Amino acid sequence: MSIRLKVPFERGAVEKLRSGEQVLLTGTLYTARDAAHKRMVEQLEKGGTLPVALEGQVIYYVGPTPNKPDSVIGSAGPTTSSRMDAYAPRLMEEGLKGMIGKGYRNEEVIASIKKHSAVYMAAIGGTGALLAQKIISSEVIAYEDLGTEAIRKLEVEDFPCIVINDSHGNDWYKEAHKQFEESPNQ
Amino acid sequence: MKEIAYQDIVDEVARICQEANYDLGEDVVNAFKESVRTEKSEAGKSILNQLIENADIATSNRVPMCQDTGVSVFIVKLGQDCHIAGGSLQEAINEGVKKGYDEGYLRYSIVDDPINRRNTGDNTPAVIHIELVEGDGLEVQMSAKGGGAENMSAMKMLTPSAGMEGVKKFILDTVREAGPNACPPLVIGIGIGGNFEVSPYLAKKSLFRPVGERHEDPEIAGLEEELMTEVNKLGIGPQGMGGSTTALDIKVETAPCHIAALPVAVNLNCHASRHKHFVM
């Protein structure tokens, strides 16, 4: 039922994805949320370079809890993506191919996803304990001072996501809601 | 006059902060199980089952069920004949939060001010509401309130002509706009009446009632039932992936208000409705 995929994506893999499909990702993800996005885009605006080359990469919007000594990461589920809408189009210009979070994206982000042949996927919000089991390593690689909001390099195995906004302009939330909406008078 | 030691409060607060994040209440887990039975979407059922599995892992491994271990919100009922020996109640609660979050490997999610946004590094200050009551007891209720659902909460100063139709429309619009962002299935707290600061507090307070329990006033209980039916027709479903379980429960609290006013507040709680309490 689920499609197994390598991340970063292989050539042509993103274009094949369709909204509503369930995927299992294996490979490398980078974490970033509010503060790291703000800092990355400020760096670009000043003409600087990013601490991570984003070409072809996937960012996971997460701020994990601290890991216990016997585990690689604490609880690590997705945060609300719309807070990254102000920054996501700029990062897609840098080659970012995928984003994982939860919740709606704005029209500008959806248009950028189409323009850059990228993809937005959702992980199940509030399942941070379950999702942490799919993360096999975690290393802070930039902005360590941001604590939970630092950029981490994660290695994941069969990390489950659902495609929300595909590179063809489809939006799974809209389609799914329509399918189950009942009239208020029923 | 009863005396309660400062350190005892610190230790109890630390304990419930961790338990709130590791052990999802039986009321919520039962609501998940019931929803698996009634949910119309197969994808929705699968998500609900993953929520149950996640709660099991959190409890067994003593890890937080969600990485957003929240703002620590307290509603305290302090008996007027109760004395805290060795420090202030507010300090005891904040020290308990610090201890609980540090020793429990919970995330620090508070910044020192909204403009400069530096993380305080210990999840304090907590949000503390103290109600002075009769007697010599101390009851402390704690909620670990996540940011995603809080961000989608809303308040509106309606006026009387809007009537209950206006109130219902505002509630449904708020839930629809929140969609997947607030991590449905939701527990929805509604405050109607009071004034500009009272109705959001009523909404927050209502979320401390157990999931599945109806209001003792039959009229309000009826409104809760009616709102449940309407919200679950929106089609949003678990995680906004479509379905009939948009809300696990809806709680309503009301208060007297000005002749010119009809305030309404909608406080959304994600499915990780984390509430614990202790009594001394």
CATH number at residue B220: 3.30.1330
Q: What's the pLDDT at A1? A: 76
Closest residue, chain A, to B181 (C-alpha): A103
On chain A, the residues whose CB falls within 8 A of the CB of B227 are none
* pLDDT at residue A19, rounded to an integer: 96
Instruction: Give the pLDDT score at A184.
Output: 77
For chain B, give the percent of residues with pLDDT over 70.
100
Min CA distance, B164 vs chain A (Å)?
15
Helix (H, G, I), strand (E, B) or coil at B180: helix
Residues B7 and B106 in one domain: yes
Domains and CATH numbers, chain A: 3-8+20-180 (3.20.130.10)
Strands A119-122 and A98-101, bridge-based pairing: parallel
In a domain, B196, yes or no: yes
Cβ-Cβ contacts under 8 Å between A and B: the total is 166
SS3 string, B142-172, reads EEEECHHHHHCCEEEEECHHHHHHHHHHHHH
What would the mean pLDDT of B76-89 be, rounded to a whole number? 97
Residues 106-165 of A with CB under 8 A from B: 122, 124-130, 132-133, 146-148, 162
Question: Measured between beta carbons, which residues in chain A are less than 8 angstroms from residue B121?
Answer: 147
In this complex, the residue of A62, A75, A177 whose CB is nearest that of residue B235 is A177
3-state DSSP assignment of residue B106:
coil
pLDDT attached to residue B234: 97
- For chain B, percent of residues with pLDDT exceeding 90: 100
- Which tens digit of pLDDT belongs to each residue from A64-95? 999 999 999 999 999 999 999 999 999 999 99
What ipTM does this complex have? 0.94
Domain that includes residue B236, residue range: 148-273
Mean of pLDDT over chain B: 97
Give the end of a domain, one of B101, B116, B145.
Answer: B145
Chain B residues inside the 8 Å CB shell of A103:
148, 179-181, 240
Q: Is the residue at B126 inside a domain? A: yes
pLDDT digits (tens, 9 = 90+) for B207-248: 999 999 999 999 999 999 999 999 999 999 999 999 999 999
User: B239, B248, B269: which to substitute to probe chain A, counting the most A Cβ within 10 Å?
Assistant: B239
Token readout for B100 is 């609980």
pLDDT of B45-60, one tens digit each? 999 999 999 999 999 9
Coil, strand or helix at B97: helix
HSE-CB for A181 with a 13 A CA cutoff:
14
C-alpha A74/C-alpha A67 separation (Å) is: 4
pLDDT at A185: 58
Same domain, B106 and B175: no
Q: Is residue B124 part of a domain?
A: yes
pLDDT tens across B193-202, in order? 999 999 999 9
- Note whether A76 contacts B: Cβ–Cβ < 8 A: yes
How many other C-beta atoms are found inside a 10 Å radius of the C-beta of residue B74?
A: 23
With beta carbons under 8 A apart, name residues in chain A contacting B117. 35
pLDDT of residue A16: 97
Domain boundary pick from B128, B145, B162: B145
- CATH code for the domain in which residue B127 is found: 3.30.360
Task: Print pLDDT tens along chain A (186 aa).
Answer: 799 999 999 999 999 999 999 999 999 999 999 999 999 999 999 999 999 999 999 999 999 999 999 999 999 999 999 999 999 999 999 999 999 999 999 999 999 999 999 999 999 999 999 999 999 999 999 999 999 999 999 999 999 999 999 999 999 999 999 999 988 755
Task: Answer yes or no: do B124 and B156 share one domain.
Answer: no
Tell me: do B130 and B13 sit in the same domain.
yes
Residues B11 and B137 in one domain: yes
Cis peptide bond upstream of B125, omega within 30: yes
Assess if residue B219 is contained within a domain: yes
Shared-domain flag, residues B15 and B132: yes
Mean per-residue pLDDT for B134-143? 97
**List of chain A residues whose C-beta atoms are within 8 Å of the C-beta of residue B105:** 65-68, 74
B233 plus B195 within the same structural domain = yes
Nearest chain B residue (CA) to A185 = B230
Residue B152 belongs to a domain: yes
What's the structural domain count of chain B?
A: 2
Asked whether residue B79 is assigned to any structural domain, the reply reads: yes
Question: Which chain B residues have a beta carbon less than 8 Å from that of A184?
Answer: 230, 233
CA angle, B37 as apex, B33 and B38 as ends, to 5°? 115
| Boundary-marking domain end, from B118, B145, B172 | B145
* Record: contact A147-B121, CB cut-off 8 A: yes
Task: State yes or no: is A37 an active-site residue.
Answer: yes
pLDDT of residue A142: 97
Clarify whether residues B74 and B163 are in a common domain: no
Residue B10: the pLDDT is: 98
Question: Choosing among A75, A121, A163, which should be mutated to test the B contact, i.e. which has the most B CBs within 10 A?
Answer: A75
User: Are B197 and B138 contained in the same domain?
Assistant: no
| Residue B28: closest CA among B71, B59, B60 | B59
Same domain, B113 and B138: yes
Q: What is the mean pLDDT of residues B121-145?
A: 97
Closest by Cβ to A176, choosing from B53, B69, B237: B237
B55 assigned to some structural domain: no
pLDDT in tens, B265-279: 999 999 999 999 999
| Interface test mutation site (partner B, options A21, A61, A80, A82, max chain B beta carbons within 10 A) | A80
| Co-location of B169 and B260 in the same domain | yes
Instruction: Show the beta-strand stretches assigned E in chain B.
Output: 2-5, 71-79, 82-85, 127-133, 138-145, 154-158, 186-194, 247-257, 262-269, 274-279
- Residue B124 and residue B153 share a domain: no
In a domain, B262, yes or no: yes
Cα Rg of chain A (Å, integer): 16
Which pLDDT does position B184 carry in this prediction? 98
Q: Which amino acid is at B50?
A: Q
Bridge partners (DSSP) of residue B247 are: B186
